[in-house]
Amino acid sequence: MSSKRALVTGGAGFLGSHLCDSLLGEGWSVVVVDNLLTGRRANFEHLRNESRFEFVEFDICEPFDVGKVEYVFHFASPASPVDYSIHGIPTLKVGSLGTFHALDVAHKYGAKYFVSSTSECYGDPLEHPQKETYWGHVNPIGPRSVYDEAKRFTEAVTMAYRRYHNVDTRIVRIFNTYGPRMQLNDGRVVPNFMKQALRGEDLTVYGDGNQTRSFCYVSDEIDGFMRLAKSDEHLPVNIGNPNEFTILECAQHVLKVVGSKSQIRYEPLPQDDPKQRRPDITKARQLLGWEPKIDLETGLRMSLDYFKKAVAEEVTTK
Ligand code: UDP
């Protein structure tokens, strides 16, 4: 009566840990392999007494084998611009070596495979909104390249294992996602603004704040992953919320939800910061019957308790 077993690399991270909850909810046994570089034990603390959950602290840049699994979800990677600029070389290694090793596990056990890719594959996009067919506009040598090119390489390796080894692969391109379990200090815009608004500090808007992002609440995002995981689509699929906001609008929403009187403070725009980002989700709608349901203000309200608690506890990266 044993349940099917899934491997989640990076399962101690924000999205990986929510994915584990969904898999467990659908009856899977889950083994997480994570080196805790940016992931945190706190993200699976609630699973301490769950017999179907195992955690292995290990860096998948080395070969590994956790025994037979039916599904490999490869989510290991730093993912916030601050994290991947601090951990540039580990980001390149996990996207390359780590991807080979995760695919080797899938190949060995004939397991299905699902990899988290990113809208960063589109770079600072010249096509708007971004369809999966767009090849992107990426600076291969800029500060973001450690992540962008690692993920583009991840996609290339994944497609190669499909072509040469018949691994049953899926690729999701994730757009900005937010919600509980984001690290308070990972530097991304939603945790930064929430933290600043809750502390009554200035909200740091980079550049003029007219650059755009499209924010997806985590439960919508995970629903998209689960649908794609059950489908047979092997080409990349965008999963993200197509409602686009300027960063200044995002700041206004945070101030409203928190009920904060913080001011806006303008700071320099980081190099190669994309000017606009919005997924075209026609493919996910048609193929998976998926679309996000939670708008930004609702999602921020649903995240508020988590951020309040995190600020109170001064939760840091570990
Ligand atoms: N940003 C900002 N203030 C912050 C953090 C981020 O204005 O305190 C901007 C950042 O320059 C970018 C956008 O918000 O234009 C989203 O940044 P984030 O780091 O969340 O992720 P990205 O979409 O760039 O990967």
The tens digit of pLDDT for each residue in 211-244 reads 999 999 999 999 999 999 999 999 999 999 999 9
Give residue ranges with CB within 6 A of ligand 1. 80-81, 176, 187-189, 192, 204-206, 211, 213, 247, 269-270, 273
Inter-residue contact 202 to 306 (CB < 8 Å): no
Same domain? 304 vs 160? no
Same domain? 91 vs 39? yes
Position 100 in a domain? yes
Position 288 in a domain? no
Position 318 in a domain? no
Same domain? 77 vs 185? no
Inter-residue contact 224 to 290 (CB < 8 Å): yes
**Residue 74: its pLDDT value, please?**
99
Same domain? 152 vs 188? no
Overall average pLDDT of the 172-178 stretch: 98
Same domain? 74 vs 131? yes
pLDDT of residue 257 exceeding 80 = yes
Position 285 in a domain? no
Query: What are residue 174's DSSP bridge partners?
Result: 118, 239
Same domain? 101 vs 53? yes
317 confidence band (pLDDT: 50, 70, 90): very low
In order of 19, 107, 186, 189, 248, the CA distances from 80 in angstroms are 18, 29, 6, 10, 19
* CB-count burial class (<10 Å; 0-12, 13-18, 19+) for 241: buried
The residue behind tokens 């499909």 is 162
Query: Tell me: the pLDDT tens digits for 258-302?
Result: 999 999 999 999 999 999 999 999 999 999 999 999 999 999 999
Same domain? 229 vs 114? yes
The CATH number of whichever domain residue 106 belongs to comes to 3.40.50.720
Q: What percent of the chain has pLDDT over 70?
A: 98
Same domain? 159 vs 269? no
Could you give the number of structural domains in the chain? 2
Q: How far is the CA of 100 from the centre of ligand 1 (A)?
A: 30
Contacts of 37 (CB under 8 A, 6+ apart): 59, 78, 87, 90
- List the residue whose alpha carbon is closest to atom 11 of ligand 1: 206
Same domain? 153 vs 28? yes
Same domain? 71 vs 197? no
147 carries an active-site annotation: yes
Position in ligand 1 atom list of the atom nearest CA 82 = 19
Q: 125: domain range?
A: 5-177+216-239
Same domain? 133 vs 189? no
Position 203 in a domain? yes
244 phi/psi in degrees, rounded to 5: -100, 135
Rounded CA-CA distance 29/26 in Å is: 9
Going by DSSP bridges, is the β-strand pair 71-74/5-9 parallel, antiparallel, or unpaired?
Answer: parallel
The number of C-alpha atoms within 13 Å of 28 and in the hemisphere containing its C-beta is: 21
Same domain? 166 vs 76? yes
